[in-house]
């Protein structure tokens, strides 16, 4: 309404002020029918509307939730410069510390806009806030008390995580006392043949890397036959898996230029601020593990910063009633879930049981115990549960905290959980005695219930399904030979020799699984039933995807026994890879290792660079490259230093 239309109301003959106007209107208005009476009614209605409007505005400002924000928005027309620094993000080129200190660059703020539009905007925001508050209140009323309690806890944790994120963003990570690295850089092997072989493996790494760079740079993996990028849903939209997975292999092979270009890519492009649903396990072992390893080897802060940033993103996965994390997590919304195929919505033992090493290091590198707390809680839940025959089933329900299906495997779904128990103990400088006990108890039960010998004397590890054995062993299970040997030294009851022997037997069986194929590379799974031994009988188990587990076991067996057969077997694998998997555009997996002509799967897996080539290279290096007393390999072969007792003493003292 134009302002002139209101003016006569305030100059009515019945009075000169507001009071007079009202009095005149109320006194004679109802009875009269002339133009004067009509004006009084009009006055009354307009006044009523006006005062209702004012009341609404003030009522909203003072009584709606978050009134302080509204006050600053409506009454003070706050410009961005007056808002608290936390509300503003540092712009491109701005120093993060500037934003933290609240020292904003005021010259860049825009001029205040049209006041009417601003008022309209504020009213819209008020309405929206009001509606949201009502909606939330309604939802809360429908919740069970436990759910409300959980929400409060989650909210609290979110605040803690936000604080941690901002510390990472503002480069406020505590200083880390990097112990002098033992054996990160080595000498050339003295023996010329060994030197040549090692050089050949480095050439393989160059071939894999250069082709990835040429055809798939920045993508997760390479398609070596069709020469393009390959994306796996395991990483959501996170990119660069091959770059991060390859970092430490490049470092130990002294491929300095390649390491530098990988580092630059991480610095400029590795991004976790996206709407992506990822596998918590895969992102942890490849990205968090790869970044931590690169940090310890190179001392470059960017790797630590990215590792902690990603670790924080993974924390909401633990928001379950038991604290056993979800398998899949949307790193933007923080919403988690489990694989739809996993028994009754369960989490998987090999997934939630393979976070420990990286999360202990994340706490060390961030100075925040939250990561260690999460994985120690997993440990407590598992330790307290009743175990059928002393075995750990592969499926655990994160809501009830109870086992689901009784399926036990040292291969897929179970494997690296056992590996991480042993390595948690070793990485703690042998102080984590709970991990040691759980490991040795577990492998004792495995030996009793799952390990068998074939008619011709091949030792294998079967799968256990509710008490019945399936006489099948996976390629993944072959890592266990190395694990048994690695733990042998400290085995209880004089069992050192026994476990070393067990490791050797598993290595032999896995070598047989390679030797009995056309490609001399092993199938995904092989069986010991129906008259066969160490051979795949099902078409869908005959593929080889450049996996490392067999050469991983050769590496540990070589280091721990120096029996030359392990170098021989490793070299057979190198020759087979060159003959059957190498293509012009990199290395490809095979669809059928028994078939006399290669059928490529057209994927160069990132773990081929992280693990397979690294283990092969180590087999042809001297033992002083990455000595096992100082370094722990995570399950993706990334390097984590043993955290010495002295470091831990410092931590405890500081607390
Ligand atoms: C790797 O990502 C890791 O070794 C994991 O523990 C199991 N699978 C692959 C390699 O086969």
Catalytic residue (choose from 258, 358, 505, 524): 524
pLDDT of residue 2 exceeding 80, the answer is no
635 lines ligand 1 (CB under 6 A): yes
**In degrees, to the nearest 5, what angle opens at C-alpha 607 toward C-alphas 604 and 613?**
90
Read off the pLDDT of residues 385-399 as tens digits, 9 standing for 90 and up.
999 999 999 999 999
282 is catalytic: yes
- pLDDT tens-digit profile of 274-301? 999 999 999 999 999 999 999 999 999 9
* Helix or strand holding residue 161 (H, E): helix 145-169
- Strand segments (E) across 287-373: 328-330, 336-337, 347-348
Is the pLDDT reported for residue 566 higher than 80?
Answer: yes
Question: In this predicted model, which residue has the larger pLDDT, 9 or 61?
Answer: 61
In angstroms, the CA 578 to CA 35 distance is 104
Rounded-to-integer distance, Cα 435 and Cα 421, Å: 5
Whose CA is closest to atom 8 on ligand 1? 476
Q: Is 419 near ligand 1, meaning CB less than 6 Å away?
A: no
Q: Is 241's pLDDT higher than 80?
A: yes
Sign of CA dihedral 537, 538, 539, 540: negative
Cα–Cα distance between 470 and 467 in angstroms, integer?
A: 10
Token couple for 97: 């510390």
Can you give the pLDDT at residue 646?
Answer: 77
- The confidence band for 124, taking pLDDT boundaries of 50, 70 and 90, is confident
281, 329 Cβ separation under 8 angstroms: no
Mean pLDDT of 243-252: 98
Q: What is the pLDDT of residues 534-551, one digit of tens each?
A: 999 999 999 999 999 999
Indicate if 651 belongs to the active site.
Answer: no
Is 549 labeled as catalytic in the residue annotation?
A: yes
The kind and range of the H/E element at 68 are: helix 67-74
In this prediction, residue 168 carries a pLDDT of 61
Mutate to test the pocket of ligand 1, among 357, 604, 635 (most ligand atoms within 8 A of CB): 635
Is the CB of residue 607 below 6 angstroms from any atom belonging to ligand 1? yes
Dump pLDDT digits (tens) for 183-208: 988 889 999 999 999 999 999 999 99
* pLDDT confidence tier of residue 45, bands split at 50, 70 and 90: low
pLDDT at 151 over 60: yes
Report the residue among 289, 547, 634 best suited for mutation to probe ligand 1: largest number of ligand atoms under 8 A from its CB: 547
CA atoms 565, 570, 573, 578: torsion sign: negative
Under 8 Å between Cβ of 229 and 243:
no
Gap from CA of 353 to ligand 1 centroid (Å)? 14
Ligand 1 center–CA 228 separation, angstroms: 23
Q: Are the beta carbons of 522 and 475 closer than 8 angstroms?
A: yes
Confidence of residue 56 (pLDDT cuts 50, 70, 90): low
635 is in an annotated binding site: yes
**Ligand 1 atom nearest to CA at 476:** 11
- Distance CA(505)–CA(259), nearest Å, equals 38
Q: What is the Cα Rg of the chain in Å?
A: 33
Q: What confidence tens digit (pLDDT) does each residue in 61-118 have?
A: 444 444 333 333 333 333 332 233 333 333 323 333 333 333 233 333 334 457 788 8
CB 249 within 8 A of CB 609: yes
Given ligand 1 and candidates 280, 287, 416, which is best to mutate, with the most ligand atoms within 8 Å of its CB?
Answer: 416
Closest-CA residue, ligand 1 atom 6, reads 635
Q: Kindly give the residue spans of alpha helices, DSSP state H, lying in 142-255.
A: 145-169, 192-216, 241-252
Res. 532: pLDDT tops 90:
yes
């Amino acid at each position: 309404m134009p302002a002139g239309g209101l003016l006569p109301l305030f100059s009515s003959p019945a009075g000169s002020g507001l009071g007079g106007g009202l009095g005149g209107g109320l006194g004679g208005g109802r009875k009269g029918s002339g133009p004067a009476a009509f004006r009084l009614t009009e006055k009354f209605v307009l006044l009523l509307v006006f005062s209702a409007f004012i009341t609404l505005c003030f009522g909203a400002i003072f009584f709606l939730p978050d009134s302080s924000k509204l006050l600053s928005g409506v009454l003070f027309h706050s410009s961005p410069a007056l808002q608290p620094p936390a509300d503003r993000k540092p712009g491109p080129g701005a120093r993060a510390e500037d934003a933290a200190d609240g020292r904003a660059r005021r010259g860049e703020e825009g001029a205040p806009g049209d006041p009417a539009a601003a008022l309209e905007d504020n009213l819209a925001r008020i309405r929206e806030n009001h509606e949201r508050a009502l909606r939330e209140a309604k939802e809360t009323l429908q919740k069970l008390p436990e759910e409300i309690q959980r929400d409060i806890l989650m909210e609290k944790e979110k605040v803690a995580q936000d604080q941690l994120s901002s510390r990472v963003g503002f480069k406020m990570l505590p200083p880390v006392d990097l112990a002098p690295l033992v054996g990160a850089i080595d000498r050339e092997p003295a023996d010329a043949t060994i030197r040549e072989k090692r050089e050949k493996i480095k050439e393989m790494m160059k071939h894999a890397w250069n082709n990835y760079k040429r055809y798939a740079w920045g993508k997760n993996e390479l398609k070596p036959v069709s020469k393009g990028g390959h994306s796996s849903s395991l990483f959501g939209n996170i990119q660069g898996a091959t770059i991060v997975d390859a970092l430490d292999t490049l470092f130990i092979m002294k491929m300095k230029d390649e390491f530098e270009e990988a580092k630059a890519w991480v610095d400029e492009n590795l991004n976790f601020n996206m709407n992506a649903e990822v596998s918590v396990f895969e992102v942890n072992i490849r990205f968090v593990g790869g970044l931590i390893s690169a940090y310890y080897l190179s001392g470059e802060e960017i790797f630590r910063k990215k590792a902690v940033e990603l670790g924080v993103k993974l924390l909401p996965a633990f928001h379950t009633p038991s604290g056993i994390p979800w398998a899949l997590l949307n790193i933007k919304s923080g919403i988690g879930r489990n694989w739809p195929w996993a028994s009754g919505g369960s989490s998987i033992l090999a997934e939630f049981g393979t976070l420990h090493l990286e999360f202990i290091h994340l706490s060390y590198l961030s100075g925040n115990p939250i990561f260690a707390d999460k994985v120690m809680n997993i440990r407590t839940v598992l330790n307290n549960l009743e175990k059928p025959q002393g075995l750990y089933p592969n499926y655990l329900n994160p809501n009830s905290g109870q086992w689901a299906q009784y399926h036990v495997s040292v291969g897929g779904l179970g494997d690296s959980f056992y590996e991480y128990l042993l390595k948690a103990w070793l990485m703690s400088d042998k102080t984590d005695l709970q991990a040691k006990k759980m490991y040795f108890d577990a492998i004792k039960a495995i030996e009793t219930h799952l390990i068998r010998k074939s008619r011709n004397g091949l030792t294998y590890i079967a799968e256990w399904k509710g008490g019945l054995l399936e006489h099948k062993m996976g390629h993944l299970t072959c890592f266990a030979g190395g694990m048994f040997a690695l733990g042998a030294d400290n085995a209880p009851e004089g069992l050192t020799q026994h476990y070393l022997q067990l490791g050797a037997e598993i290595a032999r069986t896995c070598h047989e699984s390679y030797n009995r194929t056309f490609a001399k590379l092993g199938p995904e799974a092989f069986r010991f039933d129906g008259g066969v031994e160490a051979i795949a009988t099902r078409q869908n188990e005959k593929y080889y995807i450049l996996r490392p587990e067999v050469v991983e076991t050769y590496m540990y067996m070589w280091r721990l026994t120096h029996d030359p057969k392990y170098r021989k077997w490793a070299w057979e694998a190198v020759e087979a890879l060159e003959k059957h998997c190498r293509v012009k555009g990199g290395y490809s997996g095979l669809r059928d290792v028994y078939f006399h002509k290669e059928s490529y799967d057209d994927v160069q897996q990132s773990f081929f660079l992280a693990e397979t080539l690294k283990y092969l290279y180590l087999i042809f290096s001297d033992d002083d490259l990455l000595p096992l007393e100082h370094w722990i390999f995570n399950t993706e072969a990334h390097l984590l230093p043993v955290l010495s007792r002295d470091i831990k003493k410092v931590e405890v003292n500081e607390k």
